[in-house]
Amino acid sequence: MDGRDIGAKQSFVASPGHDEGKTRFALLPGMTTSIDSMTPPLASRIALVTGASRGIGYATARALATAGAHVVAVARTQAGLEELDDEIRKAGGSATLVPLDLSDYDGIARLGAALHERHGKLDILVGNAGLAGPSSPLGHIELKAWNEVMALNVTANFQLIRCTEPLLKKSDAGRAVFVTSAAASKATAYLGPYAASKAALETLARAWAQETAATSIRINLFDPGPIRTRMRASIFPGEDPNTLDTPEQVAEFIVPMCAATWSETGKLFEYRTRSLLSFRAPG
């Protein structure tokens, strides 16, 4: 990957599917867990998904619910959350809707307290919510716009880490996945705030992974690449969306990273190449 100092590379051999009445998750090369389809693979798991009202967050929330998790869906858009809830319930799943602007850091703290009171734990955190920000030269960007991008893409995730770590430690296998972008390593021109925020997010997640390496928590990054989302269309309005994969296709690869059988931490899954990448220090 351009700009990232990457070490070992592992290919992700397959996406989730069904075979002879069993649900199969190809988690790592050479490691496949088969679970009777009568027992959802994420049954009894509590999953918090941010940015869940549309795009990758919406698709991931639905996929997690289909796999048996109770989804705590967070987004600013009430209508999108209600649509998600309808779809999850149609499929026999369950969800808790949390209309919340993640720049409300006290609100995140209250959410953590509510999760503790109601469930006593958190098994899965998917930090997906993000803001693209302005597509302009850095010298033309107002400080307010810069702060808005950093507030959601970095500080909100930091607050989520602070408020969910005790809950993830209560789980027998806490899992966290943060959605990043190749812009972090490519330092994409005219997307400076977005690129800088994703670089910061990657460092934040990697540091947290090292801090929790001796625990049952596993923390990783997910780079979806170009996907058919509203954010992508806002940045590249001339692009044909039909040439891009869908959020539903991406979600199939996020769900296995949330399973208790997932053992890797501090790594990055690159959807474009279906590869799990290790970071290494330069030099």
Residue 280 pLDDT class (50, 70, 90 cuts): confident
**Residue written as token pair 């075979």:** 19
Q: Is 211 left (phi over 0), alpha (psi -120 to 50) or beta?
A: alpha
User: For residue 168, is pLDDT > 50?
Assistant: yes
pTM of the model: 0.87
Please report the pLDDT score of residue 5 as a whole number: 54
What pLDDT shows up at residue 15?
A: 40
Asked whether residue 55 carries a pLDDT value surpassing 50, the answer given is: yes
Q: How long a stretch of residues is the chain?
A: 283
Q: What is the pLDDT of residues 209-223, one digit of tens each?
A: 999 999 999 999 999
Confidence of residue 21 (pLDDT cuts 50, 70, 90): very low
Q: Supply the pLDDT for residue 43.
A: 94
Q: Output the pLDDT for position 155.
A: 98
pLDDT > 70 fraction of the chain, expressed in percent and rounded? 81
Confidence class for position 33, pLDDT limits 50, 70, 90: very low
pLDDT (tens digit, 9 = 90+) per residue, 116-154?
999 999 999 999 999 998 989 999 999 999 999 999 999
Burial state string for 129-143 with b = 16 or more CB within 10 A and e = fewer than 16 = bbbbbbbeeeeebee
Q: Report which residue type is found at 88.
A: I
Confidence check: pLDDT of 243 > 50: yes
Mean pLDDT score, 20-34? 38
Active site residues: 194
pLDDT of 38: 63
Whole-angstrom Cα distance, residue 224 to residue 229?
11
Please report which confidence band the pLDDT of residue 9 belongs to, taking 50, 70 and 90 as the band edges.
Answer: low
| Burial label, 255 (beta-carbon count in 10 A; 0-12, 13-18, 19+) | buried
